[in-house]
Amino acid sequence: MADYDVDLFTIGAGSGGVAASRRAGSYGAKVAIAESVRVGGTCVLRGCVPKKLLVYGAEFADAFEDAAGYGWSLGERRFDWPRLIAAKDKELDRLNGIYINMLNASKVQIIDAHARVVDPHTVEVAGRRVTAANILVATGGRPELPKIPGIEHAITSNEALDLRELPKRILIVGGGYIAVEFAGIFRLLGVDVTIMIRGDRILRGFDEDIRTVLSEELQSRGIAIHPRTEITRIDRTPEGLMACTKAGTKLAVDEILYATGRRPNTETLGLAEVGVQLNKAGAVAVDEGSRTTVPSIYAVGDVTDRLNLTPVAIAEGRAVVETLFNDNPMTVDHRNVASAVFSQPTVGTVGLTEEAARQTHGMIDIYRARFRPMKNTLSGRSERTMMKLVVDRKTDRVLGCHMVGRDAAEIIQGIAIAITCGATKKQFDRTIGIHPTAAEEFVTMRDKVPEPDAQAAE
């Protein structure tokens, strides 16, 4: 066997890379990890964690407003954006330190530099070359901006997390989960929010009922949604940033946030030069074991553009390490992975959408409930919850669960276990609910939604 400097060299110290490196170290492997920015990656430093902290901060606006209905008298309220950002940054510093300590505890060598693959077993980093039995690419992705005049005036989700002051007006371009989450944050904090999308509705790829219900709820909060709209240029004017559309309309705002997609970080890694196959978007092509077209090189997480979720990246990284260093071959099942959108209200989903289920299973049954949550009765809030089950008519197996409403993410996490285990609608029906909760609705839905043809005939 060849003699290498390390058993595993990981490029990228985000969630997937750190999880893989730590576990490899715990199995006695000699591991090095290179990170050119900061240990923690997108989720901890530029995505899930800081964004969720801003969501928590913004949601106090609803809590204060609802309190009066429950007998509370509140005094003057004032929000301090710089104070929230400072608190967020302090927490990110703490998490960065924890990640570094975890790597050190697993005897993983941390290299604060950009790494580049120069052959199947060699990485160039910090002015030297390191040989490795195996190389793991976990460099994630980054926001992608369109090439239009004036795009330099726009910001991405990265900059949105570090704005020095809260804008009075913001235009969010895009209708994915990042777009609607930031729309909710800014609107709760009193910002005038407009969303522009090229398609007809937000959250493309989600269940149609989720898309419809969330659109209604966002608009009820005062968020303007402009479908089938394309921006052709951005100008800086005395009135602010001017977004000019293909239709000839213009909108003046203080900030323009683009959330129109992300691109894998592969350009400067030297992967194609050593034979690693990349797709048109630059994502690393891998097999079910996360191995690339070069047998000694693996890739996990967003850089592969499979299922871009932090827990998936962690699972993929650990599966690679179990296979390589623990004589325990593993792969990750990317089916039935639960996900959430921390919008206002929250979206939770697991399994197949109604549309996908009809295509893959043919005859299905749909159960759907829409109601005003108990908490909103005294507060007077009009926000409603939607819950939906997608069931295979032939086997009675529940193929998908979808929810829009408060605590949707927490509820769907538990439902995901049942879906993974192949639970049937009859088993859902036999489960006794916890009352009074919104979650009990998932086990009390008895009436099927009429077939689409029958609904159209009514």
HSE value, Cβ hemisphere, 13 Å, CA-based, for 312: 22
Tokens of 63: 């809590």
Q: Which helix (H) or strand (E) holds 83?
A: helix 81-105
HSE value, Cβ hemisphere, 13 Å, CA-based, for 430: 6
Please say whether the beta carbons of 43 and 344 come within 8 A. no
For residues 374-388, one letter each, b for 16 or more C-beta atoms within 10 angstroms of the residue's C-beta and e for the rest, the string is: eebeebebebbbbbb
Burial tier of 332 (Cβ tally within 10 Å: 0-12, 13-18, 19+): buried
Task: List beta partners, residue 370.
Answer: 386
Q: Which of 208, 218, 221 is nearest to 402 (CA)?
A: 208
283 DSSP 8-state letter: P
The catalytic residue among 114, 226, 361, 435 is: 435
Please say whether the beta carbons of 344 and 184 come within 8 A. yes
The yes-or-no answer on residue 435 being catalytic is yes
Burial tier of 252 (Cβ tally within 10 Å: 0-12, 13-18, 19+): middle
Radius of gyration of the chain (CA): 24
The angle at the Cα of 25, spanning 20 to 30, to the nearest 5 degrees, equals 110
Please say whether the beta carbons of 433 and 414 come within 8 A. no
Burial tier of 131 (Cβ tally within 10 Å: 0-12, 13-18, 19+): middle
Q: Is the dihedral of CA 236, 242, 243, 246 positive or negative?
A: negative
Sheet-wide strand order for 398-404: 339-341, 347-351, 398-404, 385-392, 364-371
Q: How far apart are the first and last CA of the chain?
A: 73
Task: List beta partners, residue 424.
Answer: 397
For residues 402-437, one letter each, b for 16 or more C-beta atoms within 10 angstroms of the residue's C-beta and e for the rest, the string is: bbbbbbbbebbeebbebbeeebebeebeeeeeeeee
Instruction: Return the amino acid letter for 389.
Output: L
Among all residues, which ones are annotated catalytic? 435
